[in-house]
Amino acid sequence: MYNRRNFLRILGFSALSSALSRNIWASENKQARPNILFIMSDDHTSQAISAYGGILADICPTPNIDRIAKEGILFENCFVTNSICTPSRSAIFTGKYSHMNGVYKFTALDQSQPTLPKLMQKAGYYTALVGKYHLHSNPAGLNYWSILPGQGRYHDPEFIEMGDENPSGWVNDGKRTEYKGHSSGVIADKALDFLKNKRPKDKPFMFFCHFKAPHDTWEFARRYRNFLEDVEVPEPPNLFDDYEGRSDALKKQLQYIGSEWGDHTNFEDQTRHLKGKQKKKKQYQLYMKKYLRCVKGVDDNVGRILDYLDKSGLADNTIVIYTGDQGFFLGEHGLYDKRLMYEEALRMPFLVRWPGRIKPLSRSKGMILNVDFAPTILVASGARPHPDMQGHSFVPFLEGEIPSDWRKSMYYRYYYSHFKTEPHLGVRTYKHKLIYFNRIDQWELYDLEKDPIEMNNVYDDPDYNSIVKKLKKELKRLQTGLGDDPKDIGNNPRLGALAPHDE
């Protein structure tokens, strides 16, 4: 039996410790290397997972996803570095921030760079991905894949199967095969088929199971049409936020519930007879019921997968991770979607089950980021993170310890794309958040202890002058240390050998 204290000491924050951990693992841990099941849903936020509590926990419980927390660990402070789908997925695959992996917005990932699938494959794992991919370039480093083109369809979805890709390098150019059913059920079916039939039984696997739901336009499976039918969904306390005292960014953006941008949440046919707050209340109810019906479908299908792991005996040596690709607004500040650095869009759900390693019902307040996922998975599997990765392994957190030199702040940057949401960057500590809307040269500061729902911008409050100076210094330190050029506005993505592609 390995020495736990020594093991945790070695698996520290630095790149050197990550490298050393691989040798310690090999020499002291005689168990077979763990399988990795990485489940990710699109736009599933922690407010809609009952293990995190909140106003939705009682009306829309997620018992299957909660099982991962009950049998493992829940991270309270997991954050995205750029809250938008393709950049976050690229950060997860590369362990690097947007300005380093070349994906700022909705462009293709340059597959010539080191990625988690490639490194896991090199380490002897059988790698596979089923479901939502959204990296636009043909997959690399995967032994098996079956993916939705682009956003994919909710009903009777089309998939591009491995072997049907197009030489152009663009996923969307590949041959498509239609499957009957709702995407969540079809993806779970494909996941179970992989676990039962498609993986070699003599190798550990790294399996990415990515659900499309609950991304807009929230087209739920028909069997959930009566779910929450007679329920009044609780409203967040700042649904009717008037944005007083905040920057102009909130007043300009089109992410508000009732916006006609994309017709996502205006529900005009059902609400044309209403006005003012009553109209927005009804729009909120319609939006939330569609979203939560999609969540219900994801949770039920996660349960099918977990049940099979238990039944087959795979659960004993499989690390199960559940996350979303970023947070999402569920009416907070009157908003939906993500992008903005406010808590609901910044915070990612992250739950891990690892039998025999993680104590059940564990919780961690340690600050982890999506760029940390790849190094952590690599270290947990006994492999070595690539030196180009900017994230760090948080394996010690899984057994209840936070290294003394672990980060106390995180860096965020969003680049202009949709909804007229202003580009911005910022720094978050455990107590405060400073946001700079660089194009309009305006700042916001929030005291997260006194104002957790971020209603009071205290940037101009003299009592916070010293904190502003400290946070600006920290913001600059992080930006410089991570190699982010403030003049780089994300208009020159790095595509590798691929040509620009029209979405």
pLDDT digits (tens, 9 = 90+) for 451-465: 999 999 999 999 999
Residue 253 · residue 419 · CB < 8 Å: yes
Q: Which residues contact 238 (CB under 8 A, 6 or more apart)?
A: 332, 333, 334, 453, 455
Q: Is the pLDDT of residue 25 over 70?
A: no
pLDDT band at 7 (very low <50, low <70, confident <90, very high): very low
**Encoding tokens for residue 491?**
């208009």
Q: How is domain 4-408 classified at the CATH fold level?
A: Alkaline Phosphatase, subunit A (3.40.720)
Read off the pLDDT of each residue in 146-173 and give the average, rounded to a whole number.
Answer: 96
- Distance from C-alpha of 22 to C-alpha of 20, rounded to nearest angstrom: 5
CA distances from 279 to 219, 266, 286 (A): 22, 9, 11
> Burial code of 43-54, b = ≥16 C-beta within 10 A, e = fewer?
bbbbbbbbbbeb
φ/ψ of residue 430, rounded to 5: -70, -20
- Please tell me the number of Cα atoms within 13 Å of 441 on its side-chain side: 0
Closest to 48 measured CA to CA, from 368, 412, 347: 347
Q: What is the pLDDT of residue 4?
A: 37
- The mean pLDDT value of the chain amounts to 92
φ/ψ of residue 331, rounded to 5: 95, -10
Read off the pLDDT of each residue in 331-337 and give the average, rounded to a whole number.
Answer: 97
Q: Is the pLDDT of residue 102 over 90?
A: yes
Interval 267-277: pLDDT, tens: 999 999 999 99
**Encoding tokens for residue 378?**
């690599």
Interval 193-238: pLDDT, tens: 999 999 999 999 999 999 999 999 999 999 999 999 999 999 999 9
Read off the pLDDT of each residue in 303-319 and give the average, rounded to a whole number.
Answer: 98
One-letter identity of residue 393:
S
Sheet with 318-324, side-by-side order of all strands: 177-178, 158-161, 144-148, 126-132, 205-211, 35-41, 318-324, 350-353, 73-79, 362-369
Q: What is the pLDDT of residue 78?
A: 98
Q: Give Cα 322 to chain centroid, integer Å.
A: 9
Interval 123-149: pLDDT, tens: 999 999 999 999 999 999 999 999 999
Interval 359-417: pLDDT, tens: 999 999 999 999 999 999 999 999 999 999 999 999 999 988 889 999 999 999 999 98
**Encoding tokens for residue 465?**
């002058």
Q: What is the pLDDT of residue 497?
A: 66
Q: Is the pLDDT of residue 472 over 90?
A: yes
Which pTM value belongs to this model?
0.93
Q: What is the largest CA-CA distance in the chain?
A: 70
Q: Which residues contact 324 (CB under 8 A, 6 or more apart)?
A: 40, 41, 42, 43, 44, 45, 46, 348, 349
Read off the pLDDT of each residue in 460-486 and give the average, rounded to a whole number.
Answer: 98
Q: What is the pLDDT of residue 332?
A: 98
Please name the residue ranges forming H helices in 11-127: 15-28, 63-70, 85-94, 98-101, 116-122
Looking up tokens 């991270």 gives 75
Read off the pLDDT of each residue in 19-45 and give the average, rounded to a whole number.
Answer: 70
Q: What is the pLDDT of residue 498?
A: 64
Q: Angle at Cα 372 formed by Cα 370 and Cα 377, nearest 5°? A: 110
Residue 394 · residue 411 · CB < 8 Å: no
Q: What is the pLDDT of residue 30?
A: 41
Q: What is the pLDDT of residue 15?
A: 40
Strands in 137-246 per DSSP E: 144-148, 158-161, 177-178, 205-211
Read off the pLDDT of each residue in 108-125 and give the average, rounded to a whole number.
Answer: 96
Q: Is the pLDDT of residue 159 over 70?
A: yes
Q: Is the pLDDT of residue 22 over 90?
A: no
Q: Is the pLDDT of residue 108 over 70?
A: yes
pLDDT band at 503 (very low <50, low <70, confident <90, very high): very low
Strands 35-41 and 318-324: parallel
Q: Which residues contact 321 (CB under 8 A, 6 or more apart)?
A: 36, 37, 38, 39, 68, 350, 351, 352, 373, 377
Q: Is the pLDDT of residue 18 over 80?
A: no
Q: What is the pLDDT of residue 502?
A: 41
Q: What is the pLDDT of residue 495?
A: 84
Q: Is the pLDDT of residue 353 over 70?
A: yes
Q: Is the pLDDT of residue 9 over 80?
A: no
- Distance from C-alpha of 141 to C-alpha of 121, rounded to nearest angstrom: 6
pLDDT band at 418 (very low <50, low <70, confident <90, very high): confident
Q: What is the pLDDT of residue 248?
A: 97
* Domain boundaries, given as residue ranges, for the chain: 4-408
Closest to 457 measured CA to CA, from 145, 272, 247, 241: 247
- Distance from C-alpha of 327 to C-alpha of 350, rounded to nearest angstrom: 11
Which 8-state DSSP code applies to residue 139? P
Q: Which residues contact 502 (CB under 8 A, 6 or more apart)?
A: none
Q: What is the pLDDT of residue 31?
A: 57
Q: What is the pLDDT of residue 29?
A: 42
Q: What is the pLDDT of residue 283?
A: 97
Read off the pLDDT of each residue in 317-325 and give the average, rounded to a whole number.
Answer: 98
Strands 336-337 and 329-330: antiparallel
Helix (H, G, I), strand (E, B) or coil at 367: strand
Torsion of CA 444, 419, 218, 38, to 10 degrees: -60
